Amino acid sequence: MSRIASVFAQQSHKALIPYITIGYPNIETTLMVAPLLADSGCDIIELGIPFSDPLADGVTIQKASFHALQNGVNPKLCLEVAKELSRKVKIPLVFMTYFNPVFNYGIKEFCAACADSGVDGLIIPDLPPEEGLELEIATRRYGLDLIYLLAPTSTKERIKLVAEKSRQFIYLVTVTGLTGVRDRLPANLEAFVARVRKITKQPLCVGFGISTSEQARQVAKIADGVIIGSRIIQLMEAGSESLILLQDFIKEIRSAIDKER
């Protein structure tokens, strides 16, 4: 059983999965925040590799990615950071990136480096399952879980394909659009989750736009995991108080989703 699979093997446990951009606002903060997230009740950490054209990301994460790139953050440095974090935290680490950096690094070489750095899985929003065979083979060879995404507009055929190919869980996006903080969850979210549930028994984790404990509680009621990114990045912009605010926020979210066991 992979380390990601072990998260969902816990009976009645709802996974809390935060996202942070490596190198935002700097590498030192990344190295401090990840252990804080693990100690505050998170189950898996998404580590974003900054990219110049992050198609799935809204303004908040785009800005963080641009800032990190300006700081000289690249895939090689991200692998080094992941390797250091894998020694500090016991929970799984997943890279969130785009296909271009993986392709330029070399698919097999990147997967081998991920395994050596203690990375457990990959999420690549711009990689459709129809074109993922080479990466699927490489990730399996090196013991990585490749996680695919589904949108509310996904057809029954696409849901079946992703259910067949995604490993350990499926990432459901709340909207057809970009990441970012939103005032409310979409009205059709429950129906979307139910539609996917009819086709697969894979754990389902929901992300894009979740920013409050009440939204997290609503998601935990219908899904197996809650993914939060933009709100975490915003809290990290609060200067010297950011770590305290972030820790309090994560603990609040953890408490809210635990109520839905």
Catalytic residues: 46, 57
Q: Which amino acid is at 151?
A: A
Residue 60 has phi, psi (to 5 degrees) of -60, -50
Element holding 149 (H helix, E strand)? strand 149-150
Nearest to 46, CA basis, from 259, 248, 232: 232
Are 193 and 233 spatial neighbours (Cβ–Cβ below 8 Å)?
Answer: no
Q: How far is it, in rounded angstroms, from Cα 56 to Cα 76?
A: 22
Cα–Cα distances (Å) from 243 to 108, 225, 249, in that order, read: 36, 23, 10
Are 95 and 146 spatial neighbours (Cβ–Cβ below 8 Å)?
Answer: no
